[in-house]
Structure 1
Amino acid sequence: MEINWIEDFMVLAVTRNFSRAAETRNVSQPAFSRRIRNLEYWVGAPLLDRSVFPIALTPAGEAFRKRAEDVLRSLQYAREEARGMVARPDEVISFAALHTLGINFFPRWLAGIEAALGKQKTRVVPDNLSGCVEALISGSCDAMLCYSHPGVQMSLDSASFPSVELAQDRIVPVSAPDAQGRPRHDLGGSGPVPYLCYSPESFLGRLVQPLVEAHGLNQRLIFHYENSMAEALKPAALAGAGVAWLPELAIRDELAQGTLLPVGPPEFGLQVAVRLYRMRTPASAEMDRLWAHAAAAAAGG
């Protein structure tokens, strides 16, 4: 049995999709599938229910996932224990973050942290949700910064991966204005509207598409451009190419200046939480101080 097989399984338990998990693990899908099969042969029980979509964990898979988290956590602890024997005067706190939050939220949030704790040495690695979760599970980062919403399951055990809510954000449909200052593309009418959409496998894509379908907008929204990142859809919206659902954190200046305008009623928007996750293992003193401050702030302390 190889540790890589366990890491593969943990990513698959989050994505519930072989192709996305294989891409996250940077291997071909056939090779990834073989590694999962090898793990099942080694365990001696089927871990996945492949008869449903998205795939689900079997009872054996759920039980194994909890023990697998313990194994990876123990390895992370052993690594940190070994590292602790070597002096590291310049400790850097490493974050995996969704692209939008790494760009639009993290710098302002860190400024608040530094106002209370002093200068921090940090590293931010932007990635999609699967990549962020893999980095957290494998111990490649100290903390993960991402959105949270009941519509997208994280599949992270809260006992092993505690989290704190840092802020709230809204995902809202917006359009550039026309010459009269009205939305160039509006969801209030009945005609077709060019749609700047997220990739289906992205976190925001998995949130927005069900909302679009629930309000019957999929019949009016005409595909024009797709990208997994809000930062790529934002310039297209500013250029008047169509309607995009964008996080308010990413467009606060544009909303204030009127270069982007909300379209549609409030129920066309989504409320999401910004959460910080960590692995429940001994961490650096710097990470522990930052976490304690973030947790106290979240609790109103």
Structure 2
Amino acid sequence: MHPRLLKTFLAVARSRNITRAAEAVHLAQSSVSDQIQSLESELGAALFTRSKTGLDLTSAGLALKPIAEDLLRLDGEARAAVQAAAGEASGSLTIGALETIASARLAPWLPGFQARHPDITVRMKVTDSGALRHLLEDGDIDVAFCFDRRDVTKGAAADRLARRTIVAEPLVLVAAPGQGSAPSDLAALATLRFVATEPGCIYRHLFDTAFAEAGVAAPKFVAEVGSIGTIARLVAAGAGLGLVPRLAVSDALARGDLAELPWPSPMRAAPLVMIWRRRRVQPPALRRLLAAARDTLAPVSERSPTSSEPESANRSKALL
């Protein structure tokens, strides 16, 4: 079974749709269909059956899926081992990131990395946290840059991933200029209007947790928005207050488009992490990117002390 056929099979299994699978593996729909037929002919069994909701795996397909995932993982590790033994550090990498991190952290940093490593081609996918986890687990990206939420990264899937905290990004309470001062306690703050991120986002999680731990009902939201940039514009227009990462609004604060207000209780920072799949041998190109991100991505003044890094981050050092 050629790895190319297994990759196409897994793309169809995950998307349950030939069109979306073709987009994922960058093939024409007819090529995806031909490859699935070729794999079914080789194995002597149908792998999919069509239903009203899409393509479903047959019992044979369900049996093949975990084995195909293992075979592709071993194929990648074999290539990485050969590259490492040959001293090769070239190759291509795909990194995934949240919009805020991509624009504020990675965009200024990547050109320097690529200048130091011209033989490494880097592609970037920008999407939400949930999609990043799926892309990473499926092998569609090599490393994800996101904000850590331990409450949604437990279990076997988390055990297959290594992570390192790069920096703790502070959150700030922002308002339109001249809107006035913030209340001195969370109960009074909860009576005001807010523009918030959607449920599942780390900022929203920290926001909801702050009120819950104080025994105060969270405010009602004027809007729930997936884009931090849109939230900043709505806040600047007077729609309500917002709790956002400082790195996303530092320019707006400096220009006076937004005003920072004090948060009336201790507020946790959002830990910015890079997450990658554990392997016996990491591709040399990925090792270089992980090491460079560890050493140079966060400004020196913002790096967390080594002694405060979580145990999982310390374990990650051995993998770099």
TM-score range, shorter chain: 0.5 to 0.7
- Mapped partners of 1:116, 1:73: distance in 2: 33
What is the CA-CA distance between 1:102 and the residue it aligns to?
1.5
1:255 matches 2:267: no
Aligned to 1:244: 242
Structure 2 gaps of 5+ residues are 1-8, 16-51, 83-87, 297-302, 307-316
Change (3 A) 1:176 1:119: farther
Change (3 A) 1:234 1:205: same
Structure 1 gaps of 5+ residues are 9-29, 43-67
Aligned to 2:96: 96
Change (3 A) 1:296 1:75: same
1:193 matches 2:192: yes
8 Å Cα contact 1:160/1:280 also seen in 2: yes
Aligned to 1:279: 277
> Any idea what the Cα deviations from partners look like across 1:36-83, whole Å, max 9, x if unmatched?
xx89x98xxxxxxxxxxxxxxxxxxxxxxxxx6x97354233256579
Aligned to 1:26: none
What is the CA-CA distance between 1:117 and the residue it aligns to?
4.8
What is the CA-CA distance between 1:157 and the residue it aligns to?
5.2
Summarize the alignment of residues 196-207 of structure 1 with structure 2, pairs less than 5 Å apart. Answer: 196-207=195-206
- Mapped partners of 1:156, 1:255: distance in 2: 42
Aligned to 1:141: 141
Deviating more after overlay: 109-118 vs 256-265: 109-118
Change (3 A) 1:200 1:285: same
- Mapped partners of 1:89, 1:295: distance in 2: 18
Aligned to 2:287: 288
Change (3 A) 1:286 1:275: same
What is the CA-CA distance between 1:109 and the residue it aligns to?
3.5
Change (3 A) 1:74 1:277: farther
8 Å Cα contact 1:205/1:228 also seen in 2: no
8 Å Cα contact 2:199/2:205 also seen in 1: yes
8 Å Cα contact 2:194/2:241 also seen in 1: yes
Aligned to 2:162: 162
- Mapped partners of 1:100, 1:74: distance in 2: 35
Aligned to 1:72: 69
- Mapped partners of 2:173, 2:205: distance in 1: 15
8 Å Cα contact 2:183/2:264 also seen in 1: no
Aligned to 2:213: 214
Structure 1: which amino acid aligns with 2:165?
E
Instruction: Tell me the TM-score normalized by structure 1.
Output: 0.64
Aligned to 1:230: 228
Structure 1: which amino acid aligns with 2:74?
Y
- Mapped partners of 2:220, 2:130: distance in 1: 28
What is the CA-CA distance between 1:119 and the residue it aligns to?
7.8
- Which of these two proteins has the greater Rg computed from alpha carbons? 2
- Mapped partners of 2:144, 2:168: distance in 1: 16
- Mapped partners of 1:208, 1:124: distance in 2: 29
Instruction: Tell me the TM-score normalized by structure 2.
Output: 0.61
Summarize the alignment of residues 50-89 of structure 1 with structure 2, pairs less than 5 Å apart. Answer: 72=69, 74-78=71-75, 81=78
What is the CA-CA distance between 1:132 and the residue it aligns to?
0.2
Change (3 A) 1:147 1:89: closer
8 Å Cα contact 1:196/1:226 also seen in 2: yes
Deviating more after overlay: 277-286 vs 147-156: 147-156
What is the CA-CA distance between 1:277 and the residue it aligns to?
1.1
Aligned to 2:125: 125
Change (3 A) 1:119 1:275: farther
8 Å Cα contact 1:169/1:274 also seen in 2: yes
The count of residues paired between Structure 1 and Structure 2 equals 249
- Mapped partners of 2:115, 2:211: distance in 1: 41
- Mapped partners of 2:138, 2:246: distance in 1: 31
What is the CA-CA distance between 1:215 and the residue it aligns to?
3.6
> Any idea what the Cα deviations from partners look like across 1:116-173, whole Å, max 9, x if unmatched?
6568532111111110001100100111111114455454656531122222201222
8 Å Cα contact 2:91/2:120 also seen in 1: no
Change (3 A) 1:276 1:78: same
Identity of aligned residues (%): 17
Change (3 A) 1:262 1:239: same
Structure 2: which amino acid aligns with 1:135?
L
Structure 1: which amino acid aligns with 2:136?
L
